[in-house]
Amino acid sequence: MFSEESQDELFSATVTAPVNIAVIKYVFWITPTYRAIYKANRYWGKRDVALNLPANSSFSVSLSQSDLCTRTTASCSRSYSHDELILDDEPCEFLGQADDDADDDSLPPLSSYAVRIETWNNFPTASGLASSASGFAALVRAVANLYGLLPTQQAAAAAPLSRIARLGSGSGMPQPLRRLCTWDGAWARSRTAPTARRKYQLAPASHWPEMRMLVLVSRESKKDVSSTRGMQVTVQTSDMFAYRAANLVPERMRRMEEAVAARDFATFGRLAMKDSNSFHALCLDSEPPIFYMDGSSRAAVTVVGRINEAAGEIIAAYTFDAGPNAVIFYLHRNRHRVAGVFRSLLSEKQGWASERGATIQPSAIDLDHGTVSRLQSGVKRVILTAVGEGPVDIGAAGRREPCGL
């Protein structure tokens, strides 16, 4: 129990985290039984093996925090009445379950020590740029740090925190957050086995210094379907979801790891495009179907295809997360032939006037009118970036580096 004087005490930890882009896509499970399991696990120390729900491994790349990052502050106090998680000014369902528990009088109150998470982005929050993924990554780390700040006897009373903090350790975490704990640097992978959860940093950010990304931020900011709800629908209704997870992803993971290790861009790019298409195919195969890609996404796919045709090899590769924004990978030495083509098509858009943009020369390529028109009308701005590091602890004091928030 808490002593009287701790009533108004506030603990706080702050972390910045990168936007990370999965190139072998993760689809997480939130089954109808998940909620019940989740509730059961809100009790101290109870680690239900049923939490080890199956999922597929994923492979993600961090974008540089000097270009895009999320800053998250986790705080707790007895004066807080309930857990709260705020991402892009929206309450997040995952922690907002006070009502569920209130309905069940047989359960003791869960949150004598409630937690509040607040998240800000240094990029347009409505851009759909993996904001919830980066938000969650920062969340997990910040809460783990926060938990470490608490005096032992208070930590013992802070059941929700201990549960969340375990997420950061990579063991016993509920599946929906699994992707986050695998994030541990610039190139990360995860493997899921029934009895073990492991995370790997396949390579540090410095492993492949030539790698660059061009992000095409779509004009249509608001998603029709949130990625969380979308994944639920996909898992529950796509007839092909389980087939991909069990039969296609393991081989792609193996080949992707080899490609990164060997700095083989053509293989990396081909796999990234293939898995992105495969992920969006599952979304379309859902009931009702989910369309994250729009006309500008299709145009970006066409332009990347033409760039590669013109080059006679794969020098550009796209991936799309749960939204219409294209993330286009290329090597620095091919920047004119890849980013330069987009620059010539999108010269009016914001984002080229950065330090990275200064070295990119526009480059023309033959394209049909419809593709050019869809790209120009659909893209709002561009972001030029590179591979970056994982989450950074900046403490309770709110140090402003590295992401300027």
Nearer to a copy of itself, 224 or 313 (CB): 224
Nearer to a copy of itself, 338 or 384 (CB): 338
- Give the separation between CA 255 and CA 24, rounded to whole angstroms: 11
Nearer to a copy of itself, 277 or 354 (CB): 277
For the bound state, the minimum distance from the C-beta of residue 324 to a copy of itself, rounded and expressed in Å, comes to 11
Question: Which one-letter DSSP state was computed for residue 18?
Answer: E
Nearer to a copy of itself, 51 or 375 (CB): 375
Report the alpha-carbon angle 75-80-85, nearest 5.
55
Nearer to a copy of itself, 151 or 370 (CB): 370
Please report, for residues 147, 156, 224, the alpha-carbon distance to residue 94 in angstroms, rounded to integers and kept in the order given: 19, 22, 19
For the bound state, the minimum distance from the C-beta of residue 402 to a copy of itself, rounded and expressed in Å, comes to 36
Of 337, 291, 277, 279, the C-alpha closest to 311 is: 337
Nearer to a copy of itself, 77 or 373 (CB): 373
How far is CA 84 from its chain centroid? 20
For the bound state, the minimum distance from the C-beta of residue 304 to a copy of itself, rounded and expressed in Å, comes to 9
Beta carbons of 71 and 122 less than 8 angstroms apart: yes
- 3, with CB counted inside 10 A (0-12, 13-18, 19+), is exposed
Token pair listed for 228: 């969380």
The answer for 308, left when phi > 0, alpha when psi is -120 to 50, beta otherwise, is alpha
Nearer to a copy of itself, 15 or 307 (CB): 307
Provide the 10 A C-beta neighbour count for residue 103: 8
For the bound state, the minimum distance from the C-beta of residue 268 to a copy of itself, rounded and expressed in Å, comes to 15
For the bound state, the minimum distance from the C-beta of residue 246 to a copy of itself, rounded and expressed in Å, comes to 11
For the bound state, the minimum distance from the C-beta of residue 131 to a copy of itself, rounded and expressed in Å, comes to 20
Token pair listed for 362: 């526009």
Would you list the DSSP string of 324-389?
Answer: S-EEEEEEGGGTTTTHHHHHHHSTTSBTTTSTTGGGPPP------HHHHHHHHHHEEEEEEEEB--
Beta bridge partners of 284: none
For the bound state, the minimum distance from the C-beta of residue 355 to a copy of itself, rounded and expressed in Å, comes to 33
For the bound state, the minimum distance from the C-beta of residue 253 to a copy of itself, rounded and expressed in Å, comes to 14
Instruction: Tell me the Cα Rg of the chain.
Output: 22
For the bound state, the minimum distance from the C-beta of residue 288 to a copy of itself, rounded and expressed in Å, comes to 5
Instruction: Read off the amino acid at residue 339.
Output: A
Nearer to a copy of itself, 197 or 244 (CB): 244
- Give the separation between CA 145 and CA 9, rounded to whole angstroms: 17
Provide the 10 A C-beta neighbour count for residue 297: 25
Binding site for a copy of itself (CB under 8 A): 220, 224, 239-240, 243-244, 247-248, 270, 273-274, 277-278, 280-282, 284-289, 291, 294-295, 298, 301-302, 305, 370
Nearer to a copy of itself, 210 or 285 (CB): 285
Instruction: Read off the amino acid at residue 193.
Output: A
